Amino acid sequence: MNTNLTVVDPLADQEVTIIITLAATEQPRDQRPALISVGVAEQSPVIKIGLFADLPALINEAWIAFGVQAQMSEAAQAVETVAEEQLVATVNINDDEPEPTPQPHLSAPKPQAKNLSLF
C-alpha cells in the first residue's frame, strides 16, 4: 500500500529577508567574519556566523534552519488551535448541563437525652 506524501511549504507566500553583514577588518575578504540573518517581518530571524568564503554554505544552513523553525511554529499553532477548539467544546457541553446539587452533609445521629436516675 502506498501512502501519499503531502509537503506544505511553510515559506510560501511570504517575503523572506536575507541580510549579510561583513565585519570591517584588515583581513582579506574571504577571511572576514560574516553574519547571515534570515527571517520574515515580526518574527525572530535565524542567525549564522562564519567566514565570507563560506557564504553560500552559511546561507543554505540559515535557510534550512529558518524553514524548520517555520514548520515547527506552524505545527505549534495547529496544536494550539485544536486545544482551543477542544476547550470551547468542553465549555459548551458543560454549559448545557445543570449545576450538580451539593450533597447534604450527613452526620451520625445524636443520641436522645434521657433522664437517668441513679436512685
pLDDT digits over 45-99, tens only? 899 999 999 999 999 999 889 888 888 877 777 777 776 766 666 655 555 556 6
Alpha helices in 1-119 (DSSP H): 55-96
Q: Which three cell numbers stand for residue 66?
A: 529558518
pLDDT at position 68 is: 85
What is the pTM assigned to this prediction?
0.55
Alpha helices in 14-54 (DSSP H): none
Report which of 32, 67, 66 is spatially closest to residue 50, judged by C-alpha positions.
32
